[in-house]
Amino acid sequence: MLSPTRSEVAQMVDHTLLKPEATAEQVAALVSEAQTLGTYSVCVSPSRLPLNGIGSLKVAVVCGFPSGAHKAEVKAAEAARSVAEGAGEIDMVLNLGFATTGQYASVQSEIAAVRAAVPGPVVLKVIIEAAALTDEQIVRVCQAAEAAGADFVKTSTGFHPAGGASTHAVELMAKTVGGRLGVKASGGIRTTDAALEMIAAGATRLGLSGTATILAGLTA
C-alpha cells in the first residue's frame, strides 16, 4: 500500500487548538496556518466562534469538553449554539461515567439528544476517550454512537490522564463501525510515523496540533 501524500494527509486533518489559555490572536494564527497547510478544518473551543476569514475551511467545535460530564441538554444547547455561530462539525465528549459502568442506553440517549439538536448535514463526532475504556466498552460505545446517528467516533480529547490515541483503539473502532462511520484519531499524535500508523489502522480523520511538523515529513 502506497503511503498517502502530504496533500492527502492534510485533507484528513482537523488543525486543532483547544488549550484553555488560547487567545484570539492564536486562534487567528491557527486559521491562517490551516489555510497555508491545506488542512480540512480547524477545531476550536466554542467561545472562539464566530471565526473570521475561514475561506473554504470547515469549522469543528468541541462540545461537553473535556470531561463529558455535562447534562445531555447542556451539550445539545452548546452544540446548537456553535452551529448557529458557524460550526459545521461538532466533536462531543460522551459521559465517560456512563461508559465505564455499562450504561450504554444512556450513552446512546445523550448522543441522540445532541444529534437532534444539530441534524445533518452537520457532522457529529463522538469522543469516546478510548484510553480509559476496555475493548468491550470501546465496542459498545461505538455501537451506541452509530445507533444514535453519529457520523464519526473519535479516540480522545487529549486531556485525559489515561492517554490519547492508540493504533489498537483505532483498529478496534474501525472494525466496529465497518466504514459506516468515520474514525478520528486524536490525542498525542506528534510525528509523521504516528500519523501514518493511525491512517493504516483505519483512521479517516486526524486531530492534530503539530500539523506542520507532521506534514513536513511527507512528500508533496
Residue 1 lies in a domain: no
Instruction: Write down the H helix ranges in 85-117.
Output: 96-100, 104-117
Work out how many domains the chain is built from and give that number: 1
Whichever domain contains 156, its CATH number is 3.20.20.70
Paired with 182 in beta bridges are: 152
Upper half-sphere CA count for residue 29 (Cβ side, 13 Å)? 8
Active site residues: 91, 154, 184
Residue 109 contacts by C-beta under 8 Å, 6 or more apart in sequence?
72, 148
By mean pLDDT, which of 175-179, 201-205, 216-220 is the weakest? 216-220
Is residue 177 a contact partner of residue 183, using CB atoms and an 8 Å limit? yes
**Tens-digit pLDDT profile for residues 27-65:** 999 999 999 999 999 999 999 999 999 999 999 999 999
Residue 162 lies in a domain: yes
What whole-number percentage of the chain has pLDDT above 90? 98
Residue 2 scores a pLDDT above 80 = no
Whether the predicted model's global pTM rises above the 0.85 cut: yes
**Tens-digit pLDDT profile for residues 79-95:** 999 999 999 999 999 99
Residue 11 scores a pLDDT above 80 = yes
